[in-house]
Structure 1
Amino acid sequence: MTDIFNTFAVSSSGMKAQADRLRFVSENIANADTPGYRRKTAPFEAAMDDGTVRTGRVRLDRTPLPQVYDPSHPMAGEDGYYEGSGVDLIVEIADAREAQRSYDANLKMFDQTRQMSQSLLDLLRR
């Protein structure tokens, strides 16, 4: 019976980690037009030896920010350039789709485990 509980723990930790990932993706998309904004990412780490995962510390993307030429922008320097956002919407949309699919897979595993445990309990009641 502990294997069933471990499966619940693994799938629920996966759903939590993917939900965190979706939150970072949505923050990145919301700040896509914010000058000087750096994309947030969070790696997955093993939480324990039982297969559960969690998100690690938030990291800011360290790639150089694009220089945008707009002399009328209030943040533009003497040369007319300012630092744009480090968010690529195509990458963020791809990350969101991947996180959603992984979340769905964990949800299906959770539901399948629930159904199996229910069937086991029904058999034991007979």
Structure 2
Amino acid sequence: MSDFSDSLSLSSSGLRAQSQRLRHLSENIANTDTPGYRRKTVPFETVMHGDTPGAVETGRVRLDRAELQEIYDPSHPMADENGMYSGSNVELVIEIADAREAQRSYEANLKMFDQARQMSSSLMDLLRR
């Protein structure tokens, strides 16, 4: 039975990690037009300790160090004497592509979780006979 619980633990760690990633991606998308906002990224790390080797968890949130976009708008309240202000470094197309990738990975982990649960249930039914 430990193989079933290991597969459930692996897939649930993937679900948690992708959920965290989607949270930060949606925050990035929401702040695309926020002046001075830096894109957040979440690295994944393999857990080597604990019951299930190979499980995944998220690391510390990192801010993208790419240059902020300089925007010319003299009427903006944050504009300097030259009419420029710093926008965000979020690329909407990249965020949407990353969100789609995270969503598909989440769905794959959910499918794996469901398959392991169904196999475990079928095994229990066979053992009851």
Shorter-normalised TM-score: what interval? Answer: over 0.9
Whole-Å separation in 2 of the counterparts to 1:101 and 1:32 = 23
Which of 115, 119, 123 lines up with 1:120 in the alignment?
A: 123
TM-score (norm 1): 0.98
Runs of 4+ off more than 6 Å: none
Which one-letter code corresponds to 2:94 in the other structure? V
Provide the identity percentage.
69
Question: What TM-score does the superposition give when structure 2 sets the normalisation length?
Answer: 0.95
Q: Give the root-mean-square deviation of aligned CA atoms.
A: 0.8
Establish whether residue 109 from structure 1 lines up as the match of residue 112 from structure 2: yes
Give yes or no for the alignment of 1:75 onto 2:88: no
Shift of 1:48: 2.8
- What number of residue pairs does the alignment pair up? 126
Q: Distance in 2 between matches of 1:58 and 1:16?
A: 15
| Whole-angstrom distance in 1 between the partners of 2:7 and 2:54 | 9
Structural mapping, 1:1-126, within 5 Å: 1-48=1-48, 50-126=53-129
Gap runs ≥5 in structure 1: none
Unmatched 5+ residue regions in structure 2? none
DSSP-derived class of the 1:57 partner: coil
